[in-house]
């Protein structure tokens, strides 16, 4: 998508993301950065999955797969992740085993910093999402609380680069403001 006219529409102020914070619970590291939750994005006509993939790719987050979310608690230590709901609805638990239930609907997007626990609690039969990762983090891992050495996971997460672009808002999106080291959200 090099042609400006083909570029996806950036989010408006009405689509400013919710910011959700989750602390390290001793089994799931979570992150010092907030989860970003964009709601009800306006997408290009056609397939919502195609539109989400185009949006993420345009903003430097290559899409990797379409599908659902595992029904067990897990996190990724080697990659930040974005999940865009193409159709249906689901309730995910974010933040680990004692986390918070979040309802998601078609055209919602989550940006999960590495270490953020997530699990599918329930989903409609037609639930489908698109997943994308920063270009230098395409080899994501699957970590489960209690099965993964948390000290190693914390060190892996600390060594990750911060993406240069928000998968929804690009270079001027919420991620570039909320995850920047000079504006460190809070220490855990």
pLDDT, tens digit, for every residue of 32-87?
A: 999 999 999 999 889 999 999 999 999 999 999 999 999 999 999 999 999 999 99
Measured CA to CA in angstroms, residue 63 lies from 43, 137, 185 at distances of: 16, 12, 27
Strand ranges in 25-160 using DSSP code E only, listed in sequence order = 35-38, 63-67, 81-87, 89-94, 100-105, 109-112, 118-123, 128-132
pLDDT tens for 146-187 read 999 999 999 999 999 999 999 999 998 999 989 985 444 444
Side-by-side strand order, sheet with 35-38: 18-20, 35-38, 109-112, 81-87, 128-132, 63-67
**Could you tell me the fold of the domain covering 17-176?**
Jelly Rolls (2.60.120)
Q: Is the separation of the CB atoms in 27 and 12 below 8 Å? A: no
Q: Is the separation of the CB atoms in 169 and 9 below 8 Å? A: no
Instruction: Tell me the domain boundaries of the chain.
Output: 17-176
CA separation for the pair 34, 21 (Å, rounded): 5
pLDDT tens for 75-128 read 999 999 999 999 999 999 999 999 999 999 999 999 999 999 999 999 999 999
pTM of the model: 0.89
Which residue blocks in 28-121 are alpha helix, DSSP H?
Answer: 48-58
- Using alpha carbons only, give the angle 174, 180, 183 rounded to the nearest 5 degrees: 100
């Amino acid at each position: 998508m090099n042609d400006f006219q083909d570029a996806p529409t950036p989010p408006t102020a009405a689509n400013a993301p919710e910011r959700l914070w989750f602390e390290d619970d001793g089994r799931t590291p979570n992150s010092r950065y907030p989860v970003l939750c964009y709601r009800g994005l306006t997408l290009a006509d056609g397939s919502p999955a195609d539109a989400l993939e185009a949006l993420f790719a345009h903003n430097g987050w290559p899409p990797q797969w379409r599908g659902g979310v595992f029904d067990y608690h897990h996190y990724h230590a080697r990659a930040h992740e974005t999940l865009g709901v193409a159709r249906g609805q689901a309730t995910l638990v974010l933040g680990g085993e004692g986390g918070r239930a979040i309802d998601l609907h078609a055209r919602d997007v989550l940006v999960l910093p590495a270490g953020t626990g997530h699990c599918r609690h329930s989903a409609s039969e037609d639930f489908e999402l698109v997943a994308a990762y920063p270009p230098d983090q395409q080899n994501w891992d699957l970590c489960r609380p209690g099965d993964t050495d948390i000290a190693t996971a914390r060190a892996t997460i600390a060594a990750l680069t911060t993406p240069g672009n928000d998968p929804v808002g690009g270079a001027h999106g919420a991620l570039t403001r909320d995850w920047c080291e000079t504006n460190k959200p809070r220490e855990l």
